[in-house]
Amino acid sequence: MTSLSINVNKFALIRNARGTNMPNLVDISKKCIEYGADGITVHPRPDERHVKFSDLEELKNLTDNYEKIEFNIEGYPSDNFIKRIIDVSPDQVTLVPDPPEALTSSFGWNCEENKNFLTDVINKFRENDIRVSIFINPSSETLSKLHTIKPDRVELYTYDYAKNFNENKESAIKPYLEVTNYLKKEFPHISLNAGHDLNLHNLGYILENISEIKEVSIGHALVCDSIDFGLKQTIAKYNILTQHQK
């Protein structure tokens, strides 16, 4: 089963551009759910250029109104981020190693170098019954400390896959297959998510080849597709690609 979680950051970016509440982020997220999304993802950054921390409570209240709809919050685990996320208590927190000035997520954690830091952070969230996923590169070289860090899930950073897909999809997916096999062998208790630059063109292939993926988080491409197809039809198109797993 692969769940489709829609990242609503870009909708928030449009809202913020005019300094108004249009589009209303809760209304957009509600439509995403009613049109077939399995969850809502947000990534509030320190400069709040799209989703704001003040949005989180309302979005959590929204998702709580639906059975089996999850709320996922991404971000770098600063002290402020940790406190705010524990206060909101989403279903899942996805930890990314982005510096504050990052335009978008661009690499995964080096688990070797950040073993103690990630272990402490994950324990704080786990004590508050929040599932934890961490962003990883498609390489096993920096993952040997996962047995100490003990995340519930890892999220494959799929930028390289998407970038190389058009040139050679077999080559593009190869490192992702390798790291998935490594995880299954060494850490079978850790589940798998995926995200970044996945779209209508490349999503089906990765899901067909890595059936272990429990959740994909898609935002930018989905918003762009909505310009062509409309939000309802766009979500339907993405659900066609994830339904084969259900």
Model pLDDT for residues 169-218, shown as the tens digit of each residue: 999 999 999 999 999 999 999 999 999 999 999 999 999 999 999 999 99
Q: Which of 50, 155, 196, 215 is catalytic?
A: 196
pLDDT per residue as tens digits for the range 46-99: 899 999 999 999 999 999 999 999 999 999 999 999 999 999 999 999 999 976
pTM of the model: 0.94
Residue 107: pLDDT over 70: no
Residue 244: pLDDT over 50: yes
Q: Which of 43, 50, 70, 155 is catalytic?
A: 43
| 196 counts as catalytic | yes
Closest Cα to residue 70, out of 41, 103, 42? Answer: 41
Residues in a beta bridge with 74: 94
| 220 counts as catalytic | no
Q: Which of 70, 74, 155, 215 is catalytic?
A: 74
User: Residue 13: which residues within 8 A CB-CB, separation 6 or more?
Assistant: 49, 50
